[in-house]
């Protein structure tokens, strides 16, 4: 089977970069630099303090990886690793496995951030940027084209590439009966980072990628690429993997996740559609 990699980033303001862009902030502390950047952004946009993507610094990359060997989920590297190390690890996974990438708003946020930050650090990503010059299989299906499937941005695809139709990951996951977001939201990451709660941020990132993978399985069921039986089997594979991780006692967020994942909506579309077709 083609390996599947659902991924998600957690970012904070790039305070070192902001000091380079705004030398007048050089003497300010990290929280003060960020506060000044947020204020400047609100003034520029008329309300939003969300910083431009090139001013974000990656502090966690969550990966849910499914291949013939099973299902694994973790954040790359360690909490102490540099941004450059995390980005390099991510692209090395792509170089090694050429996986199917799956994201939620990855085309609008995660991948552009990775592009900018890889450029800042001078990190090579040869397989990722392949577009058919060296591998003809990538000519009409590569990672960087919006309408190619080697990267599936579920939010973008389900919304028919219309921003006004986009749904939040948390809400759609919970509507389908999955756990949804636990512990924090994206707008709380900076505060948690300032408080030194990097482990909590990494746990939150990991639950996001599992929600994304579960929704991808639901999408494959809807497309007919998974039968209802195969879908249920895949749900059990994920449950078993998370249960095994929770049993170690070192990953308590999976105990909470499994407890919240108790009301999954049973898929009925395949059977009812067949019955309806037979009655015409």
pLDDT digits (tens, 9 = 90+) for 202-248: 999 999 999 999 999 999 999 999 999 999 999 999 999 999 999 98
pLDDT digits (tens, 9 = 90+) for 111-148: 999 999 999 999 999 999 999 999 999 999 999 999 99
**Which whole-number Å values give the CA distances from 207 to 48, 50, 62, 124, 263, in the listed order?**
26, 23, 8, 28, 17
Determine what percent of the chain is predicted with pLDDT higher than 90: 88
- pLDDT, residue 2, reads 94
Q: Is the pLDDT at 271 greater than 60, yes or no?
A: no
Task: Please report the DSSP string for 214-272 in residue order.
Answer: HHHHHHHHHHTSS-HHHHHHHHHHHHHHHHHHHHTSS-HHHHHHHHH---PPPP-HHHH
Mean pLDDT of the chain: 93
How far from chain centre, in Å, is Cα 257?
17
User: Measured on CA atoms in the order 84, 90, 192, 106, is the torsion positive or negative?
Assistant: positive
Residues in the chain: 280
Task: Please report the DSSP string for 143-197 in residue order.
Answer: SS-TT-SSEEEHHHHHTTT-GGG---HHHHHHHTTS----S--GGGHHHHHHTT-
CA atoms of 102 and 7, how far apart (whole Å): 6
Could you tell me if residue 19 is left (phi over 0), alpha (psi between -120 and 50 degrees) or otherwise beta? alpha
Both structure tokens of 91: 């692209």
Enumerate residues 6+ apart whose C-beta is below 8 A from 15: 30, 33, 34, 57
Both structure tokens of 153: 């941005």
Annotated domain spans of the chain: 4-263
- Say if residues 242 and 66 touch (Cβ distance below 8 Å): no
Torsion of CA 249, 4, 68, 177, to 10 degrees: 60
Both structure tokens of 47: 């309300």
CATH architecture of 4-263: 2-Layer Sandwich (3.30)
Could you tell me if residue 15 is left (phi over 0), alpha (psi between -120 and 50 degrees) or otherwise beta? alpha
**Which whole-number Å values give the CA distances from 165 to 110, 155, 159, 160, 212, in the listed order?**
19, 9, 5, 8, 18
- pLDDT, residue 186, reads 83
Could you count the other beta carbons within 10 Å of the beta carbon of residue 142?
Answer: 19
User: Measured on CA atoms in the order 232, 105, 58, 126, is the torsion positive or negative?
Assistant: positive
């Amino acid at each position: 089977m083609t390996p599947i990699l659902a991924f998600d980033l957690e970012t904070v303001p790039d305070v070192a970069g902001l000091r380079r862009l705004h030398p007048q902030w050089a003497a300010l502390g990290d929280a003060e630099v960020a506060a000044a950047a947020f204020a400047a952004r609100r003034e520029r946009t008329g309300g939003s303090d969300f910083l431009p993507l090139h001013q974000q610094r990656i502090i966690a990359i969550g990966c849910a990886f499914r291949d013939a060997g099973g299902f694994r989920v973790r954040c790359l590297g360690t909490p102490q690793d540099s941004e450059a190390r995390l980005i390099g690890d991510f692209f090395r996974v792509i170089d090694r496995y050429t996986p199917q990438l799956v994201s939620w708003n990855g085309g609008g946020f995660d991948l552009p951030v990775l592009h900018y930050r890889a450029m800042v650090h001078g990190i090579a990503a040869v397989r990722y940027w392949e577009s058919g010059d060296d591998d003809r299989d990538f000519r009409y299906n590569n990672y960087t084209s919006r309408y190619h499937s080697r990267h599936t941005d579920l939010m973008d695809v389900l919304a028919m590439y219309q921003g006004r139709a986009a749904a939040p990951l948390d809400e759609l996951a919970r509507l389908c009966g999955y756990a949804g977001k636990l512990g924090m939201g994206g707008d709380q990451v900076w505060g948690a980072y300032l408080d030194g709660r990097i482990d909590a941020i990494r746990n939150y990132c990991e639950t996001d990628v599992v929600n994304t993978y579960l929704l991808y399985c639901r999408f494959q069921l809807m497309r007919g690429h998974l039968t209802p039986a195969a879908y249920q089997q895949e749900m059990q594979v994920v449950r078993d993997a998370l249960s095994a991780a929770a049993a170690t006692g070192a990953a308590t967020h999976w105990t909470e996740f499994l407890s919240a994942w108790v009301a999954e909506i049973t898929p009925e579309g395949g059977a009812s559609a067949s019955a309806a077709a037979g009655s015409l």
